[in-house]
Amino acid sequence: MNPQSDVLLELCDFLYPRSPYYGQFKPEYLAFNANLQEFSQRVNYICNLQTGGKITPEEAYKQIHLLWKQLKHAKKSIEIV
């Protein structure tokens, strides 16, 4: 494999860590778990940006609120009860 692609894979693993799914295996549960992990990763970035003074608390709240709405929509579209 190309050394440059190895570095990119390691960088992606570092920036976007994934945890294994241990729940009951159903495709919809697995899909929602992926959405939930992405939500938590993005909230973490937003919190860090706000803590570092790069965005205002109001902007952080708006972004997190939008992500929450997207997660709720994803849950409904996957049809998880």
Task: Give 36-46 pLDDT, tens digit per residue.
Answer: 999 999 999 99
Residue 15 domain-assigned (yes or no)? no
Residue 78 domain-assigned (yes or no)? yes
Task: Give 44-80 pLDDT, tens digit per residue.
Answer: 999 999 999 999 999 999 999 999 999 999 999 988 7
Rg of the chain on CA atoms, in Å: 16
The tally of domains found in the chain comes to: 1
Structural domain harbouring 67: 24-81
Residue 72 domain-assigned (yes or no)? yes
Residue 4 domain-assigned (yes or no)? no
Output the pTM of the full model: 0.74
Residue 54 domain-assigned (yes or no)? yes
Residue 32 burial (C-beta neighbours within 10 Å; 0-12, 13-18, 19+): buried
